[in-house]
Amino acid sequence: MLKRGISEIVSGRVLKNPADIRQLGIVFSYHALLWAMYLVPACRTIPLLLLACFFSFLNVIVAHNHLHQGIFQSRRLNMGLRYFLSFGALYAISTNVPAHNLVHHHFDDDGDWDWADGRYVGFRWNLLNILHFPNRVGTVGLAGTERWMLGAGRSDIRKQHRNEKFFTLGFTSLLLILDFWPALFFVVIPQLWARAAFSD
């Protein structure tokens, strides 16, 4: 049964490109690391935390690719994967549809700054620019996203964005309530690492 399911995924009936099984493997590995560290005290080690942070970065690369071209043939599966990717980055990845896919790739000639333009930070010391950039661009991008979402005909993406937000923040909050310190150190830290990486 499992062999048949994997065969169908790889054969192209489920995935648009069979090579995308690697991207699903990254997402699965990242979530497996988070759950292992959260649930199994023996897995709460610095090497596994660092590995989770590395996989959190790979997870946002998958999110980036997935927003450009959904991995699955099924729209429902594509929308469902966004919840897992959002949880891994601690924010609704649908935010990046207007903030990255549209602004960065389509509206670059309208005279306005890209929402991820480097000119939003201007310290003389580049290390400060790198550290402050995700915070500054995050506020610009979120404000722009909220404005864009209010436009006509965007109810589907607005609903998806809202649901991703509630799922991500709600589920993370639940983990913090159930077991605060393991959730903070072994779930939230990798999530924040991913979030900072996605902002860059």
pLDDT (average), residues 117-123: 75
Q: Express as a percent the part of the chain with pLDDT over 70.
A: 78
Q: Is the pLDDT of residue 86 over 90?
A: yes
Q: Is the pLDDT of residue 107 over 80?
A: no
Q: What is the pLDDT of residue 58?
A: 95
State how far the Cα of 184 lies from the Cα of 91, in Å rounded to an integer: 16
**Nearest residue to 56 (alpha-carbon basis) of 38, 41, 34, 71:** 34
Burial readout 173-200 (b: 16 or more C-beta within 10 A, e: otherwise): eebeeeeeebbeebbbbbbbbbbbbbbe
pTM recorded for the entire structure: 0.78
Interval 124-174: pLDDT, tens: 888 887 777 777 766 776 777 777 777 766 788 888 989 999 999 999 999
DSSP element (H, E) containing 194: helix 189-199
Q: What is the pLDDT of residue 120?
A: 74
State how far the Cα of 160 lies from the Cα of 166, in Å rounded to an integer: 10
pLDDT band for 109, please (50, 70, 90 cuts).
Answer: very low
How many other CB atoms are found less than 10 A from the CB of residue 69? 10
Residue 56, token pair as written in the block: 């959190």
12 phi/psi in degrees, rounded to 5: 100, 0
Contact 96, 104 (CB under 8 A): no
pLDDT band for 180, please (50, 70, 90 cuts).
Answer: very high
Q: Is the pLDDT of residue 87 over 90?
A: yes
- Specify which of 79-93, 110-124, 186-200 reaches the highest per-range mean pLDDT: 79-93
